[in-house]
Amino acid sequence: MSNFDKLFSFGYPSYTKDPELYYNCIKNSHPRYRAEIFDIYFSDPYRYKFNGVDHIYGDVMGTPLPEAHIKSLLKIQKEFGIEVSLTFNETYPNRELVEDIPTLKGFVAHIGKYYEMGVRSCTISHVHMMATGLLQREFPEMRWKNTVNHIITTPQQVVDYHTLGYNVINLDRSLNRNMDMLKAMQPLRKKYPDLILSLLVTEGCMPSCPFKVEHDTMGGKNPDWSYWQHHGNMTCKVWRHSMNNEMPRAGTEMIWGDLDTFNEYRGMVDYFKFSGRNMSLPDNTYDQKFVWSNIAHIKGQKWQADNGNLNGAIESGTPVAVADYFEQVVTTNPGIISNFQPLRYCKTSHPTTLDKVAEIDKETIWATGKGRALNHVLKNCKNECWDCHACERTFGAPDVDSLIEVNRDVSILQGHANHFKGIKISHE
């Protein structure tokens, strides 16, 4: 068993059309790649009727999986021993989920369906439900995970949620930039040896985004509605797709600018969680395998992959570094660790190629003196950007105290701008 086993949790790319594509990529991947996966998480929200009204609970991302994809995931668990994890991450559940007995029984049966199929891991956001102890009694072998949307940032919160019955504590992404608090968490691991700590490595959301609660609530309550085609035109899409999106402050992604930085974070949590349920794998006619590649990182990376597909870049001669599994990255030619990303794929015939790491890294900000200095700052900047501006000055961008300043002129807001300018509200 390697020290890198079960180190990463991956979200299932829920917009993938072909349910066999992900399974085939996992099957074709190196055995060590599979061994490094802690779990693959997915969503199947609970739909029910209460007082004659249809309701849904469970998925703020609005990415429920069709049955064929769920069957494919269960096949992965059975054949390769990679745990799959059911996810209910909506933090504003309706009262009847606990209060109304038929609704409660229906929810227990919904989880029970997966328990009978062998699922032993579940993210459950409903803390009142956990407080009843009902789920723990009904499903004694289930590993319960809180949602990262619970915003757990202190040791006391960890203890409180663990006492409720959560085996895995997904810490808030703000701790990616607060190593001092991560260090303060470490005595918990000795006092509670069964406690499992996780950090969300990748998320493009603005730190402590003031729109996030409403965004998540809208997504959870309206699964067939797209936030990005409506309200997103006033929020994330305004400051993304500009020079600001290159800066770490535009998201909460963890930056591992060197091997020492990675090892610091690794020593303080049990595994790292990668987002990705909003992604898709396009259909392909040839066999694919998942790899780690440093062509596709979005923060300060010159080279880009086509939605994770490395084949075009490889065939065109674009410098690409490919590792069949993560341990290869850190033991062969590590460079800038966070420039490597998982769930990139290429033809099964493509070999490991790590001779281009230095060439690609040299094209990123992280290989410069300023980049290395920023890597150090980010460990403890606590996302207090208003009087820091280290990101802007490293990337050559104008100082902004808040990302909300960017493109706030209503005349250039996308999508909804004309709609709002045309509204006349009577105060009579």
Domains of the chain, start order: 8-203+252-274 (3.20.20.80), 288-363 (no CATH)
158-172 pLDDT, tens digit each: 999 999 999 999 999
DSSP string of 224-248? Answer: TS-STTTGGGGTHHHHSSSGGGGSG
Confidence at residue 316, expressed as pLDDT on a 0 to 100 scale: 79
Label residue 290 by pLDDT band (50, 70, 90). Answer: very high
229-277 pLDDT, tens digit each: 778 777 877 777 655 667 899 888 899 999 999 999 999 999 999 988 8
Query: Using an 8 Å Cβ cutoff, are 311 and 347 in contact?
Result: yes
Q: Look up residue 252 and give its two tokens.
A: 């909460």
Q: In whole angstroms, how far apart are CA 319 and each of 14, 260, 304?
A: 29, 25, 10
Tell me the CB-side half-sphere exposure of residue 167, using CA atoms within 13 A: 12
Residue 278 above 90 pLDDT? no
Tell me whether strands 37-43 and 8-11 are parallel, antiparallel or unpaired: parallel
- Model's pTM, two decimal places? 0.90
| Bridge partner list, 56 | 47
